[in-house]
Amino acid sequence: MRFFIPFRATALVLMLAFGSASARAETSSTLAAAEAAYVAVDFEGTRSASEKALNEGNHDPPETLRLYTLLGIATATLGQEAEAREAFRRVLGIDPDAGLDKELSPKIRSPYLEVRGELSAKGPLTPLSAHAVRRGGRLFVELNDPTSIAAGIDVAYRASSSPAVTHFHVPRGQEAMASSPVSDMSRVEYTLTVRDGYGNALFRLGSEATPEVIEPDPSARDAEARAVRRSRGPYYLAASLLAGAGVAAGATAVFFHVKRQDAADEWNSTACEQPGSTRGQQCADVDDRRKRDQNVAIGLYAASGALLLSSVITLVLAPSSRAESAAARSLPCVPGLGALGAVCHVSF
């Protein structure tokens, strides 16, 4: 069962707004018709109007509760006990504290008391409720429905890791809201509505103005920080080794640079003078040593610079924050409108 309308154009926004107002007015009028028939002691009319209103769907929880109450009273009065018990079971499922006017006849109250007795025999009566939880990086719905009256749950949620609002309809018997992960470090805002088989709201949690919130898990943040630190380790080790090698290469280059300077000083002095026609012949071994030391120093300077640059690049490439959250990876999206704004309609 789906209650989502695909987005087509800006003009459709206004149409949807007026359509929503029209739908609310229609549901209110059908409820009013059932109330009017009840006040007029027209139980056949009350039953008919209540059934019609419920079949139309789209009622809020208080309206749904009242319609099932009227239906139970009307069918009990008309001698339709099975239908009355089913209606009262739904009434007590929504609100275990809901009661009937004690001035009503025993014929009307009898089915109600029977259902209450049957449910109470199984344990304390608790109202229908639901909420979303995050387990293992995914969102789940936890439903408390002791009378088994819920047909499905509509959920709209938005995680801080992604600006998109996602809508899910979760059929009864399925817990998972999302097949894509939702990071434990994300703040999740959501609204949730439990519906009957006709689309009437039995329970609602959160609203557009005040959505429910699942705060980030501090332990997950700590674990993520530890994982990032662990992932940085190899980068830091490699950067340290490269920097150490670069410094060593630079120091060795300085050593050969000093040796080259000593050879140059010797070349320019009279220390290497000996019989010969040219200075190149007289100091050939000094000149060879000077050139060799110069070439080695230049090579080591270049290697030192390359190693130090590689060390810096390795540090830059080291993880500085957690990787992009898997929650930001969206499922195939069909644009649309929802309670929290523009949404993606997703099913699974």
Model confidence pLDDT, tens digit, residues 78-121? 999 999 999 999 999 999 999 888 888 999 999 999 999 999 99
State residue 68's pLDDT score.
Answer: 97
State residue 275's pLDDT score.
Answer: 63
Whether 344 has a pLDDT exceeding 60, the answer reads no
Distance separating alpha carbons of residues 320 and 41, to the nearest angstrom? 73
Position with higher pLDDT, 220 vs 266: 266
Distance separating alpha carbons of residues 81 and 66, to the nearest angstrom? 18
Whether 343 has a pLDDT exceeding 50, the answer reads no
204 phi, psi to nearest 5 deg: -135, 135
Q: Confidence class of residue 269 from pLDDT cuts 50, 70 and 90? A: confident
CA dihedral 54, 60, 61, 62 (to 10 degrees): -90
Whether 293 has a pLDDT exceeding 80, the answer reads yes
Whether 290 has a pLDDT exceeding 50, the answer reads yes
Distance separating alpha carbons of residues 185 and 191, to the nearest angstrom? 19
Instruction: Give residue for tokens 């009355």.
Output: 84
Q: Per the structure block, which two tokens stand in for 303? A: 């290697």
Position with higher pLDDT, 98 vs 184: 98
**What mean pLDDT comes out for the span 221-229?**
59
**What mean pLDDT comes out for the span 235-254?**
87
Distance separating alpha carbons of residues 263 and 272, to the nearest angstrom? 10
State residue 220's pLDDT score.
Answer: 56
Facing residues of 153 across strands? Answer: 170, 194
Q: Confidence class of residue 329 from pLDDT cuts 50, 70 and 90? A: very low
Q: Identify the DSSP state of 5.
A: -
Candidate from 165-179, 193-207, 315-329 with smallest mean pLDDT? 315-329
Per the prediction, the chain carries an average pLDDT of 78
Q: Identify the DSSP state of 40.
A: T
Burial class (CB in 10 A: 0-12, 13-18, 19+), 3: middle
Task: Give the 3-state secondary structure percentages of the chain, helix then strand then coil, rounded to 5.
Answer: 55, 15, 30
Return the SS3 of 213: strand
Cα–Cα distances (Å) from 64 to 35, 54, 126, 176, in that order, read 13, 7, 18, 26
**What mean pLDDT comes out for the span 322-338?**
37
Distance separating alpha carbons of residues 143 and 130, to the nearest angstrom? 4
Whether 204 has a pLDDT exceeding 80, the answer reads yes
State residue 2's pLDDT score.
Answer: 28
276 phi, psi to nearest 5 deg: 170, 160
Candidate from 123-132, 171-180, 181-190, 321-330 with smallest mean pLDDT? 321-330
